[in-house]
Structure 1
Amino acid sequence: MTESSQPEIGTVTTRVPSRLDRLPWSRWHWMIVIGLGTVWILDGLEVTVVGNIASRLSEKGSGLAITDGQVTGVGAALYVAGACAGALVFGWLTDRFGRKKLFMVTLAVYLAATAATALSFAAWWFFLFRFLTGFGIGGEYAAINSAIDELIPSKYRGRVDLIINGSYWLGAVGGALLSVLALNTNIFPKDLGWRLTFALGVVLGLVILLVRRHVPESPRWMFIHGYERQAEDLVSDVERQVEDEKGGRLPEAEGSITVEQHRTISLWTIAKTLTTGYPKRAVLGFSLFVGQAFLYNAITFGFGSILVNFFDVSSGSTGYFFAAIAVGNFLGPLLLGKLFDTVGRRKMISGTYILSGILLFATAWVFDAGLLNATTMTVCWGVVLFFASAGASSAYLTVSEVFPMETRALAIALFYAVGTAAGGISGPLVFSSLTSSGNVGDAVLAFCIGAGLMTAAGLVAVFLAVSAEGRSLEDIATPLSARGGKDGGTRPTPSAPAV
């Protein structure tokens, strides 16, 4: 699709979805994963760096007049608030103007804001650009998750989505180890090391921007918005690449869908579809996001403070401990991801949420009993987050696949914003005081709140999770544009010669 292309609105029958879903895994899919999925590494780098440099920023000579609590409380809350706002704004624009345009814009916003954060000279400047960095990252969640799900074959969608979302923790590992290096005053002065950590995020973002230029627009978005010929040409080109790579002809695609094309869909129609067309799925999405947001945005933002205040770990060494739990977080989606496509969504989503909640309750109990030190506390957290990370990643997978195509990006944005606002804005503000107070009972309360909400979300998933494994997106939720289709997942059937 070129910039000069103009949509031709009409009624069209196409096999584009089934042609994409029957593709075997190929180099083209790796290009999608690398170009789009690597941004989660940046998010993990951002959040981890801030959590680990909080104590250093509050020290005399850092170049900023700011307290530890302001960094992990106000700064974290503003970052999440920015992410919520960015998700809503860019989510609506993504459904309206396409995935590709927006995932380029959102990354550019992130890069500019992160570069400005590295130049912070006052607390208000730091807070402003933490908000704007979150604004860009929030837009990424909406644009990227919708594009990935629409480009990855249904057979692999669950595991790929989980691993990509879980790659956040590769960034967390990098951020944790980077903070150890940057905070070493034998190498960098106090007012320079923390700035270099943000600068590295800019460098990585520029590399991702170069790779992302080659990622195409979603053919599913294209044929619904009047670009069916360009969608057909794109899929045909991909099929030729895959056949050349595999050395054989692809099987015929089965099934087509007839849609009445449109340029845009009103916000009212989208909102009505999400709330009245799929009320049970809306409750599911909200529950999953609130549970994981409280666990992650509330407690992990303050993990460094817990180590410093309860176990006398130096501020320059917290990165080693965070790197350890970050590895556990990444291994969860990596090792459990395939089971979401084989064992099934319902069992795995509910199981990972409930198990992580129970394990966190157990961690709170042994911590309250005074049986943990910094190392064993980190081991407990690593086990809890091994399961919680897979569950949290499945929240993004769920809301990106259970609503109609025309609402997908905004649905991701809406549930991310509402759930994260509930747990991600209030969480750091509340838990920063609980985890930094030095009172064991306060920290235990923080753990129990996160554990309770994760467990409750898992119980909701037991009853409301959708069995989406191996099914096409159009089967899970029929597009609003489908001629004669009904909301709720009726499989489209051929009604005209396919384009």
Structure 2
Amino acid sequence: MRRSEDEIIETTIPAQLDSLAWSGFHTRVVLALGITWILDGLEVTLAGALSGALKESPTLHFSNFDVGLANSAYLAGAVLGALGFGWLTDRIGRKKLFFITLALYLAATAATAASWSVASYAVFRFLTGAGIGGEYTAINSTIQELVPARYRGWTDLVINGSFWLGAALGAGSAIVLLDPAHAGPDLGWRLAYFTGAALGLIVFVMRMWIPESPRWLMIHGHPERAKAIVADIERSAIGHAQDLDGHAFATIRLKMRDHTPLGEVARTLLSSYRERALVGLVLMVAQAFFYNAIFFTFALVLIDFYGIASDQVGWYILPFAAGNFLGPLLLGRLFDTLGRRAMIAFTYGASGVLLALSGYLFSIGALSAQSQTVAWMVIFFFASPAASAAYLTVSETFPLEVRALAIALFYAIGTGIGGVAGPALFGALIDTGSRPRVFLGYLFGSALMIAAALVAWRYCVAAERRPLESVARPLAIVE
């Protein structure tokens, strides 16, 4: 039953959630959220690995520019989807949006398999992106609000990094489905998309494991539901609900509200938290350009400059994906121990310097396809936790009431500036056949990452192991 708006409640829910040790419940949350990123990794990797097959398709006849344009359409959809669904996530809750965005994502992916022209392919990719953009906001909000503070950084990075398990799966699928012995040039890529959508149906079942965020419920008029969910989580974690009288849990007082007006959202982001907004924007723009420009044109570089057959690209994506997953897995805990500021600055800076170095070696023809892949593997070992840390930073350094919309807004701006332009720009540079011109694109991406490292070193918030409510107080808090 909804309680009246403006009623003041006292609650220990945030402290109760943060007091828990890691348990089976938290593992189930990681699995249920991580599987979505695995499917997204499968989706995006297929788009990159299949670019050669799309160019060879007898019905579509893609050019390099068409490949880049279609990938930019996917990212443009992700931008608009993040904004629209991000607003809804803060209005109607995290759990409901899980199913809406997932349904759109899977339906559009299946429709991509039936594309009959460049335009239809681009439209379906746009819709797929809209679904995954909504997923970013709901999932990252949920991670922050359900996982205890001392595990929050590593968990967020690993869940976002699980994208690359899907990338490895996509690469393996491409190897099989693009083999002329198994499927024709116009059938393999269609089967790849359809299979990915079919596998995604299991996520609907896994999402049942995840409750609505108690932190969201306690502010939006449902404190009894929030208490019941926390009690269930405690029973799952320690075998019984915690005795509130026997523990000195920190109490906060909140004035319940139905929603947060957009005017208050704007004041929060642009005035009260202006410096944090600058950090989030810079990190998002840099990683979006860096990642999307390079990864979406990965196959084109291998095919056009190294003469790799399109049906062999998957073999080169496998080590690339391994580096991307191992980075968050092995470096993630340092974000909770050494701290956000040091690790974000380090990973962004290392990525930028290594890209500039490998870009120069590429420009003078000093790399083979194999050594180029090793170079990318090393670069993205550092770039992967850096990119995930951008989402971590935005999702934990703003108040609960605007968290999902803040993730959506900075993801949208960052992707719109850095991500949408990147694939199309690199597609055009690769079309020139000039290594020095492609190197200029790499240098630009390198400069963005190094600049972001400097901003992070100066302005990042020390949010490691701190309760969300102490990093950014809820707007509804009452002194």
TM-score band, normalised by shorter chain: over 0.9
In structure 1, the residue matched to 2:39 is 42
In structure 2, the residue matched to 1:290 is 285
Q: Which runs of 5+ in 1 are unaligned?
A: 485-499
Secondary structure at the aligned position of 1:51 is classed as helix
In structure 1, the residue matched to 2:135 is 140
Contact 1:118 / 1:195 at 8 angstroms: preserved in 2?
A: yes
Contact 1:19 / 1:253 at 8 angstroms: preserved in 2?
A: no
In structure 1, the residue matched to 2:26 is 29
Secondary structure at the aligned position of 1:259 is classed as strand
Secondary structure at the aligned position of 2:149 is classed as coil
Structure 1 residue 252, shift from structure 2 partner: 2.5
1:152 and 2:127 are equivalent in the alignment: no
Residue 7 and residue 214 in structure 1: after superposition, are their counterparts in 2 closer, same or farther (change >3 A)? farther
Structure 1 residue 435, shift from structure 2 partner: 2.5
Secondary structure at the aligned position of 2:296 is classed as helix
1:309 and 2:304 are equivalent in the alignment: yes
In structure 1, the residue matched to 2:80 is 85
In structure 1, the residue matched to 2:432 is 437
Residue 453 and residue 97 in structure 1: after superposition, are their counterparts in 2 closer, same or farther (change >3 A)? same
In structure 2, the residue matched to 1:239 is 234
In structure 2, the residue matched to 1:127 is 122
Alignment deviations for residues 263-287 of structure 1 (CA, whole Å, 9 cap, x no partner): 1111111111011111110110001
Q: Determine which of 319, 333, 337 is the counterpart of 2:314.
A: 319
1:407-422 to 2 correspondences below 5 Å:
407-422=402-417
Q: Determine which of 176, 195, 214 is the counterpart of 1:219.
A: 214
Aligned AA (1:473):
L
Give distance in 2, aligned partners of 1:257 and 1:249.
17
Secondary structure at the aligned position of 1:58 is classed as helix
Give distance in 2, aligned partners of 1:49 and 1:41.
12
In structure 2, the residue matched to 1:64 is 60
Q: Which runs of 5+ in 2 are unaligned?
A: none
1:5-20 to 2 correspondences below 5 Å:
5-9=1-5, 10-20=7-17
Of stretches 471-480 and 369-378 in structure 1, the one that deviates more from structure 2 is 369-378
Residue 413 and residue 248 in structure 1: after superposition, are their counterparts in 2 closer, same or farther (change >3 A)? closer
Alignment deviations for residues 210-264 of structure 1 (CA, whole Å, 9 cap, x no partner): 110221000000000010011011111211222229x998983521110000011
In structure 1, the residue matched to 2:332 is 337
Give distance in 2, aligned partners of 1:269 and 1:349.
29
Give distance in 2, aligned partners of 1:221 and 1:389.
29
Aligned CA-pair RMSD: 1.5
Q: Determine which of 449, 459, 463 is the counterpart of 1:454.
A: 449
In structure 1, the residue matched to 2:361 is 366
Contact 1:37 / 1:144 at 8 angstroms: preserved in 2?
A: no
Give distance in 2, aligned partners of 1:60 and 1:219.
50
In structure 2, the residue matched to 1:490 is none
Contact 1:435 / 1:446 at 8 angstroms: preserved in 2?
A: no
Give distance in 1, aligned partners of 2:150 and 2:330.
17
Give distance in 2, aligned partners of 1:243 and 1:424.
43
Contact 1:16 / 1:232 at 8 angstroms: preserved in 2?
A: yes
In structure 2, the residue matched to 1:463 is 458
Of stretches 352-361 and 7-16 in structure 1, the one that deviates more from structure 2 is 7-16
Aligned AA (1:210):
V
Give distance in 2, aligned partners of 1:326 and 1:183.
19
Secondary structure at the aligned position of 1:316 is classed as helix
Contact 1:299 / 1:446 at 8 angstroms: preserved in 2?
A: no
1:161-200 to 2 correspondences below 5 Å:
161-200=156-195
Secondary structure at the aligned position of 1:82 is classed as helix
In structure 2, the residue matched to 1:102 is 97
Give distance in 2, aligned partners of 1:183 and 1:7.
57
Contact 1:22 / 1:253 at 8 angstroms: preserved in 2?
A: no
Give distance in 1, aligned partners of 2:287 and 2:224.
41
Q: TM-score, with normalisation over the residues of structure 2? A: 0.97
Contact 1:293 / 1:419 at 8 angstroms: preserved in 2?
A: yes
Alignment deviations for residues 325-352 of structure 1 (CA, whole Å, 9 cap, x no partner): 1110010000000000001000000000
Residue 241 and residue 253 in structure 1: after superposition, are their counterparts in 2 closer, same or farther (change >3 A)? farther
Give distance in 1, aligned partners of 2:371 and 2:33.
36
Structure 1 residue 60, shift from structure 2 partner: 4.5
Contact 1:404 / 1:478 at 8 angstroms: preserved in 2?
A: yes
1:209 and 2:204 are equivalent in the alignment: yes
Contact 1:113 / 1:129 at 8 angstroms: preserved in 2?
A: yes
Aligned AA (2:2):
Q
Contact 1:15 / 1:253 at 8 angstroms: preserved in 2?
A: no
Alignment deviations for residues 52-71 of structure 1 (CA, whole Å, 9 cap, x no partner): 1111111143x324323202
Give distance in 2, aligned partners of 1:210 and 1:253.
37
Structure 1 residue 7, shift from structure 2 partner: 4.1
Aligned AA (1:410):
L
Alignment deviations for residues 378-397 of structure 1 (CA, whole Å, 9 cap, x no partner): 00111000001010000000
Alignment deviations for residues 366-415 of structure 1 (CA, whole Å, 9 cap, x no partner): 22232110000000111000001010000000000000000000000000
Aligned AA (2:22):
W
Q: How many residues align?
A: 477
Aligned AA (1:21):
D
Give distance in 2, aligned partners of 1:269 and 1:203.
41
Secondary structure at the aligned position of 1:190 is classed as coil
Secondary structure at the aligned position of 1:12 is classed as strand
Give distance in 2, aligned partners of 1:315 and 1:472.
48
Secondary structure at the aligned position of 2:9 is classed as strand
Structure 1 residue 119, shift from structure 2 partner: 1.0
Structure 1 residue 8, shift from structure 2 partner: 3.5
Q: TM-score, with normalisation over the residues of structure 1? A: 0.93
Where do 4+ consecutive residues of structure 1 move more than 4 Å? 247-251
Give distance in 2, aligned partners of 1:249 and 1:7.
24
Give distance in 1, aligned partners of 2:178 and 2:282.
38
Secondary structure at the aligned position of 2:203 is classed as helix
1:259 and 2:254 are equivalent in the alignment: yes
In structure 2, the residue matched to 1:492 is none
Secondary structure at the aligned position of 2:370 is classed as helix
Aligned AA (1:345):
R
Aligned AA (2:152):
R
Structure 1 residue 360, shift from structure 2 partner: 0.8
Secondary structure at the aligned position of 1:258 is classed as strand
Secondary structure at the aligned position of 2:70 is classed as helix
Contact 2:32 / 2:210 at 8 angstroms: preserved in 1?
A: yes
Give distance in 1, aligned partners of 2:99 and 2:394.
22
Give distance in 2, aligned partners of 1:152 and 1:458.
27
In structure 1, the residue matched to 2:109 is 114
1:347 and 2:342 are equivalent in the alignment: yes
In structure 2, the residue matched to 1:487 is none
